[in-house]
Amino acid sequence: MSLFRLDASIRGEQSVSRAVADTAEAAWTRTHPSGLVVRRDLFASPVPVDAWPAAVTAGFVPADERTEAQARAVGLASTYVDELVAADAYLLAVPLYNYGVSQHVKSWVDLLLTDRRLAPGQESPLRGRPAALIITRGGGYGPGTPREGWDHATPYYRRIFGDLLGLDLHLCEVELTLAEVIPAMEPLRDLARQHLEAGHASADKHGELLAQHALDKVA
C-alpha cells in the first residue's frame, strides 16, 4: 500500500507546509511501517512551462503525427496520473501564494487534466480515496481579519482535489506562517505558534487516519 506525497513550497528547509507534512508522513510510517511513500516535489522538479499547451494540442492530432514536444508532454501527463492512480492515500502539502494557488501546483493540475483518466466529465479513478490536504498561509485570513476573503487558493484546492478528483479530503490549515520572519507580524507570533502546534497535531491525526484506511483495505 502506498502514500503519494505532493510538495510545492519554494521555501526549502524553512517551509512550514513541508514540516507539517513530515509530521503526517511520520504518523503514516508509524502506523503502517510497511507502507510505501511516493514523493512528487513540484519545486525541485517543476512542470515544464510548455508541457500543458503541448499536451492540449496533442489531443487534436493522431498519436503518430504528434511533434516530439507533444509526445513528451503526453508522456509526462501519463506519468503524473500513473503516480496518483497507483496510490492508496494522498498527502498534499500546498501553500497559498499571493492570495492564490501555487503556480507549480496549478501547472501540475492543468497537465493532469489533459489525461483522459482524469479529464473533466469522466468518473475519477481516485474517487473515495483518503487525502490529507495541508494548506499553509503566511498571514491571517479567518473571519474578522483584514484579509478575510482574500484566500483564493483553498476553494480551488478543495474543488479540484475533492469535487473533481473525488478524494475524501481531510483538511489541515496553518496560518500566520510568516510571523517569525516579518517584523511587523511580531505581535502575532504567540498566536502563530498556537496555529503551528495545532497544525502538527492535526497532521499527526490525519497521517494515522490515512494509514489506518490503507490497513483496513487489506484486512
User: Once rounded to an integer, what is the mean pLDDT over residues 20-39?
Assistant: 96
Q: How many domains does the chain have?
A: 1
Residue range 11-29: mean pLDDT, rounded: 95
Measured between alpha carbons, how far is 79 from 166 in angstroms, rounded to an integer? 20
Q: Average pLDDT over the chain, rounded to whole?
A: 95
The parent domain of residue 108 ranges over: 6-218
Q: Which residues pair with 97 in a beta bridge?
A: 100
Report how far residue 52's alpha carbon sits from residue 49's, in angstroms, rounded to the nearest whole number.
7
Q: Is the per-residue pLDDT at 217 higher than 90?
A: no
Query: Does 133 reside within a domain?
Result: yes
Residue 1 in any domain: the answer is no
Predicted local confidence at residue 11, as pLDDT: 93
Task: Summarize pLDDT for 40-75 with one digit per residue, the tens.
Answer: 999 999 999 999 999 999 999 999 999 999 999 999
Angle at CA of residue 106, ends 102 and 108, nearest 5°: 120
- pLDDT of residue 219 exceeding 70, the answer is no
Claim: this prediction has a pTM higher than 0.75? yes
Q: Examine residue 197 and state whether it is found in any structural domain, yes or no.
A: yes
Helix, strand, coil share of the chain (percent; to 5): 50, 15, 35
Residues 119-146: tens digit of each pLDDT: 988 899 999 999 999 999 999 998 999 9
pLDDT at position 215: 85
User: Residue 136 is part of a domain; what is its CATH number?
Assistant: 3.40.50.360
What pLDDT score does 97 carry?
97
pLDDT band with cut points at 50, 70 and 90 for residue 185: very high
Determine, yes or no, domain membership for 90: yes
Q: What backbone phi and psi angles, to 5 degrees, belong to 80? A: -60, -45
Examine the pLDDT at 218 and tell me if it is beyond 90. no
Q: Is residue 139 in a domain?
A: yes
Q: Measured between alpha carbons, how far is 168 from 9 in angstroms, rounded to an integer?
A: 23
Distance from C-alpha of 109 to C-alpha of 135, rounded to nearest angstrom? 16
User: Residue 13: what pLDDT?
Assistant: 87
Q: Residue 214 — pLDDT band, cuts 50, 70, 90?
A: confident
Using DSSP's 3-state secondary structure scheme, residue 30 falls into: helix
> Mean pLDDT, to the nearest integer, of 4-10?
97
Percent of the chain with pLDDT over 70: 99
Q: Is residue 79 part of a domain?
A: yes
User: How confident is residue 216, by pLDDT bands cut at 50, 70 and 90?
Assistant: confident
Residue 174's pLDDT is 97
Contact 168, 124 (CB under 8 A): no
